[in-house]
Amino acid sequence: MNLQKLFAQTQENYELIPFFIEQLLASDVYCLATQDPDQKIQFRVLETEEGEQAIPFFLALETIQHDFGDETEYLTLNTRKLFEMTLGTTLVMNPTSTLSKEFQSEEVKAILNSQIID
C-alpha cells in the first residue's frame, strides 16, 4: 500500500493510525542527510513552526526533488532505524507538504516500545 495515501486516510479514519505506524516502521523513507566515508550520518535539521529543531524525513523521493531540487543530498533509511538513530530528537514527516506530521521524542519512544520486535 502507498504510505502517502495511507497517511492521508488516517486523517479521516483514526482507526488506521496503528496500521500506518506499523507500515511506516517497516518501510524506507528519505532523509535530507549525507554519509561520510566512516559511515557517520549527518542529518539536515529544519526549524519547526514552534522554533524547535527537527530532522525532516519524507515518504516520497519526488517530494525532496520537487521541494529542494534534484541535486539535494539524501539517504534512504528504514524508518525504525531512523527512529532508533535519532531517539531523543523531534522528527517531521513531509515538512513541506500540506499534510505533515511531527514526531516528538516521547512519541517516538512510545512507538518503538509498543512494536513487537521479531
Mean pLDDT of 85-110: 94
- Write down the mean pLDDT value for the chain: 92
pLDDT at 1 over 90: no
pTM: 0.91
pLDDT of amino acid 117 = 46
| Residue pLDDT, tens place only, 53-89 | 999 999 999 999 999 999 999 999 999 999 999 999 9
Query: Mean pLDDT throughout 36-63?
Result: 92
Transcribe the chain into DSSP letters: --HHHHHHHHHH-GGGHHHHHHHHHHSEEEESEEE-TT--EEE--EE-TTS-EEEEEES-HHHHHHHH-TT---EEEEHHHHHHHTTTSEEEESTTSSS-EEE-HHHHHHHHHHSPP-
Give the pLDDT mean for 2-22. Answer: 95
